Amino acid sequence: MSPSSPAGSSSSSLSEGYTNVLLALPDGTIPPDHADLRSHTVSLIGGYPTFPPLLNTSQIPKEVKCKICNKPIPLLAQVYCPLENGENDRTLYVFACSRAGCQKKDGSIRAFRASIRNDEYVKDVEEKRKAAEAEAEKAREEARKNPFTLSSNAQPNGSALFGSAQPLFGAAPSNPFAAPSSDPTPKTSTDSATEDLSKLYISSSSSSTTLAPPIPAYQPAQYLTTIDEYLPPPEEVEYESSDDEDNADEELKGVMLDDNLERLLNQKVDEVFQAFVRRLEGSDGGLKQVLRYDFGGIPLPYSSVSPITRKLFPGCEKPLTKNQELDMNGLYKLDEKVIKRCERCGGQRTFELQLTPYLLSILKPHTISTTGEVSTKEQSKGKMTEEERKKELNELAKKINEGGAVDDEMEWGNIMVFGCEGDCVGLNEEVVAVEWEMSL
């Protein structure tokens, strides 16, 4: 049964078929030694993280360690996501340990947020604030001249203050993953108060810090591109017969979720998981989404059996009655006991992004390298003879039959990141909520 209002989207946002969610998809390999590999304003998967110049350079880690095995762990995703109406550069980083003994344990997956003041955003905010105030004053002056007439030119001024298309306080780029464009015009002088404020947040160092070998990293790194999530109207999506559902599942398994979710589809699934699969499958052009971004939105849960899902969506595990629709939005509850406040500023945290299972088909254990180059195993994989492939498969089957671990595979189904709503400046660890594959 499909949800009436999918989790992660308000009902109003679905009137045109578009939701508030941005979908991130892989967009090609980043060339070795390219400058984008050393920029905190570039969104990518794999590779090494780049931290912006922070006032307190001691905050920048030399490596990120798993809290279980205490060994360095590779980056899954770096996401540049300045907030709309914000004044900061904001970059999120998600790391995960792939070691078999660390799976399904808290602390094996970690997320960090780096925020630094961006003078261009601050300037934009101030200019738009002054423009809005000038328009409002002009409207008041017109009203004083003729108190019984409101000219058509004055009408937009109210909307400029209360939600027009032009935001009152300025906005970051419409695509939160986009790097800021450079302004070729020289900066004008600002008042001393603004200059003093900027000194509080801008590091004296202008260079970013990129981690490097021998820290493990998935190679090669890949760009992320974004599209708006579009869900075709229900009449355009046919889920009528069991045959249709079987065909849809086969397409989903073969095209989108690779072998990682394929074995899960063979199991009996619950309504929440079914909605998760349908949502990923139903988004136009989003079959290969690896990340969903919706700051302040509602996450898309993976399984009603998952402990974290039951905490965020109390009652989701209850069976539906006849003709009842699954309404995850109505169940969502952001409890501070579950998603704790920001340790740095004390502000609330809110849902920001989640990583989806398709990422597992890209970031495979054999692509991890400690040299900064593509692993020799990955390079030689396509050169294996048929006999070598059969031998590898036989060894793999033997491991499975003996109950052993199949190399070091990550076993999560959904990684949700909750970030500081106030976007406090500095580098801070954020809350990660993981739904493990074992939950199904």
DSSP-derived pairing of the beta strands 412-420 and 349-355: antiparallel
Start-to-end CA span in the chain (Å): 18
pLDDT at 256 over 80: no
More confident call, 339 vs 173: 339
Give Cα 19 distance to the centre of its chain: 15
Q: Where residue 26 falls among pLDDT bands split at 50, 70, 90? A: very high
DSSP string, 347-407: PPEEEEEEE-GGGGGTS-GGGEESSSS--HHHHHHTT--HHHHHHHHHHHHHHHHTT---S
pLDDT of residue 156: 40
pLDDT at 302 over 90: yes
In three-state secondary structure terms, 94 is: strand
Residues 351, 299 contacting (CB under 8 angstroms): yes
Kindly list the domain boundaries of the chain, sorted by start residue: 12-118+205-377+391-439, 120-179
The DSSP secondary-structure symbol of 440 reads -
pLDDT at 263 over 70: no
The pair phi, psi for residue 161, each rounded to 5°, is -90, -25
In three-state secondary structure terms, 268 is: coil
Q: Where residue 197 falls among pLDDT bands split at 50, 70, 90? A: very low
pLDDT of residue 203: 33
Q: What proportion of the chain, given as a percentage, has pLDDT over 70? A: 65
Helical packing angle, 242-251 and 271-282, nearest 10°: 60
Residues sharing a CB contact under 8 Å with residue 12, sequence separation 6 or more, in sequence order: none
Residue carrying structure tokens 């045959």: 243
Residues 350-381: pLDDT tens digits? 999 999 999 999 999 999 999 999 876 655 55
Residues 57-93: pLDDT tens digits? 888 999 999 999 999 999 999 999 999 888 999 999 9
pLDDT at 51 over 80: yes
pLDDT at 439 over 80: no
pLDDT of residue 40: 96
pLDDT of residue 158: 38
pLDDT of residue 286: 85
pLDDT at 125 over 70: no
pLDDT of residue 83: 92
The listed range with the strongest mean pLDDT (192-196, 236-240, 247-251, 328-332) is: 328-332
Q: Where residue 104 falls among pLDDT bands split at 50, 70, 90? A: very high
The listed range with the strongest mean pLDDT (111-120, 194-203, 378-387) is: 111-120
Averaged pLDDT score across all residues of the chain: 77
Exposed / middle / buried, residue 90 (Cβ in 10 Å: 0-12, 13-18, 19+):
buried
Distance CA 63, CA 42 (A): 20
Residue type, 65: K
Q: Where residue 179 falls among pLDDT bands split at 50, 70, 90? A: low
Q: Smallest Cα–Cα separation from 226: which of 71, 44, 103?
A: 44
